Structure 1
């Protein structure tokens, strides 16, 4: 998703407090009408679907405390808005979204749902980028634990979902090279695709989003609370490892820097998009991924250290990993 970095906006820092507005509006479950766009396509209906369905599936579904600090940010171009929503529920530590729409047709939706540590549920992940002609999408139920080697975990959450993954693997073909490091955080049903904009493709993407989200909610509804302290600790560390990776290697960071400046971009990434990286554990990025250490103790900025990528989908029709090596 390095193509996100094409946007060239002059950087000028903004204090977070001066650009966050309307702190009372997050309590409403209805979104404001989307901003005018040269395209009739909008990710707002994706977000509204997720909020409505989650509300129906949860006994309580309320705004997160994060909504007080992260609501709306104005980009340095003076017109583009970054809209952030965040909620929590009994089994959901955080449901958060970031949406961006520009008049030239560029749109972003970054939606994730993180479970409470007492549940080993996968992490729902939807990262969508659309320009006038191009779409880059990732849709998945990111595994909390090792889906390559932990057979029990894989069977528990993904065995019944393989047909769903196969359906959309055909409708939204594999999007090209994906690094082996990134692949460790994806499941056998991941949708990773690039395609030209069309109403047909957008309809397919919305269909995939709704089916994947309902599948995640079904898993959530059936999930039972873990009482083993050691397993809860493992769940918490697994989620912290995931958050630590994403906070350091998320490809959308370059776009955020161009829109709101480096200081605010870092604030949004660490405290909103991947909230928990400071609260769920004390390990650093290099504790989890020592192979990224430079001689001076800094983190190597490369997307891949192993140097291996997968041009084609590396799972077979049974969801078995068939890459020749995985390092």
Structure 2
């Protein structure tokens, strides 16, 4: 939810630049564009009046089931405090889930669904000992519009660090290309925002359509499986300098997201200022304190002493 709102805000900003031409429809042929719904495109069904019966719950279920197939997933300590909240309207419920795994510092989701809006904010962060992108799915749906961001946010700079870009994203370009025609670029972004996106980012807007929802679910599954493959192959870092670099990069990302989050306004209207601030800082962007400079000693204390022995 937070990044979708942020992107919506940047579209209205005066300091905008055009996105890099990483994924263009001119590079796509019809033969590689999936008909995700199995229907003819001409028969696209447009949903009516409300946000409709569509739900993002199956996205969450897929991510959890797929993760459990590959690793030991256990509840995060955050789950004790953050599980559900009822909005001030007395009917809208905010549902939170959080887990961790041997290579995953945090897998967390926030979902909000009522007649007017449907929101999914799902992210997965690797532990600092593993250099892997951040899985990011931010979906915002109303009766008239969907604002979508789906990406494997790079942990480090893919604009200036060509080696890092090729290491993680060169083999994933075909995946992004398959969906770029189905999900056209959603609009201009600030240069600051672009630093946090990968070459395969899906940033798009579209009116309600069951066909598009089917395609979005297909894209979500493929992107998530690609991320799981990356994290499963990521070797454990033993050099403290690399671990520190990963920790700082993740902290920089969290700080930017928390500080630039216009979605805070939506949460404020739903649950009030105090709960909104707490949810943003301590759940959605958990790690701001742990991964910051004050948290370095706690991080290093968890590193096995054998890793400090020179070989």
Give the TM-score range, shorter chain: 0.7 to 0.9
Aligned partners of 1:4 and 1:255 also within 8 Å: no
1:259 & 1:204 partners in 2: Cα distance?
30
| 1:227 lines up with 2:238 in the alignment | yes
**What residue in structure 1 maps to residue 21 of structure 2?**
none
2:161 & 2:147 partners in 1: Cα distance?
30
Aligned partners of 2:6 and 2:260 also within 8 Å: no
Q: Counterpart of 2:146 in 1: which secondary structure?
A: strand
- TM-score (norm: length of structure 2): 0.78
1:282 & 1:76 partners in 2: Cα distance?
36
**What residue in structure 2 maps to residue 66 of structure 1?**
78
2:246 & 2:118 partners in 1: Cα distance?
33
Distance change (3 Å), C-alpha of 1:170 and 1:38:
closer
Unaligned runs of 5+ in 1: 6-36, 284-327
**What residue in structure 2 maps to residue 130 of structure 1?**
141
1:232 & 1:188 partners in 2: Cα distance?
24
**Between 235-244 and 252-261, the greater mean CA deviation after superposition:** 252-261
Aligned partners of 1:125 and 1:142 also within 8 Å: yes
- TM-score (norm: length of structure 1): 0.74
Distance change (3 Å), C-alpha of 1:166 and 1:67:
same
1:198 to partner: Cα distance: 0.5
**Between 149-158 and 230-239, the greater mean CA deviation after superposition:** 149-158
1:153-174: per-residue Cα shift (whole Å, max 9, x none)?
1111101000111111111000
Structure with bigger helix share is 2
1:220-264: per-residue Cα shift (whole Å, max 9, x none)?
111110111100000000000000000111232111111111111
1:76 & 1:190 partners in 2: Cα distance?
34
1:248-306: per-residue Cα shift (whole Å, max 9, x none)?
112321111111111111100000000001110138xxxxxxxxxxxxxxxxxxxxxxx
1:187 to partner: Cα distance: 0.4
**What residue in structure 2 maps to residue 304 of structure 1?**
none
**What residue in structure 2 maps to residue 147 of structure 1?**
158
After superposition, residues 1-327 of structure 1 pair within 5 angstroms as: 1=5, 39-58=52-71, 60-104=72-116, 106-282=117-293
Distance change (3 Å), C-alpha of 1:101 and 1:117:
same
Q: Counterpart of 1:171 in 2: which secondary structure?
A: coil
1:179 to partner: Cα distance: 1.1
Q: Counterpart of 1:56 in 2: which secondary structure?
A: helix
Aligned partners of 2:74 and 2:99 also within 8 Å: yes
Aligned partners of 2:51 and 2:142 also within 8 Å: no
**What residue in structure 1 maps to residue 35 of structure 2?**
none
Which one scores higher on RCO, CA 8 angstroms, separation ≥ 6?
Answer: 2
Q: Counterpart of 1:154 in 2: which secondary structure?
A: helix
1:3 to partner: Cα distance: 9.2
Distance change (3 Å), C-alpha of 1:218 and 1:116:
same
2:6 & 2:259 partners in 1: Cα distance?
15
1:136 & 1:162 partners in 2: Cα distance?
22
Unaligned runs of 5+ in 2: 10-49, 295-311
**What residue in structure 1 maps to residue 23 of structure 2?**
none
Distance change (3 Å), C-alpha of 1:200 and 1:98:
same
1:103 to partner: Cα distance: 2.3
1:180 & 1:251 partners in 2: Cα distance?
17
1:135 to partner: Cα distance: 0.1
2:256 & 2:58 partners in 1: Cα distance?
29
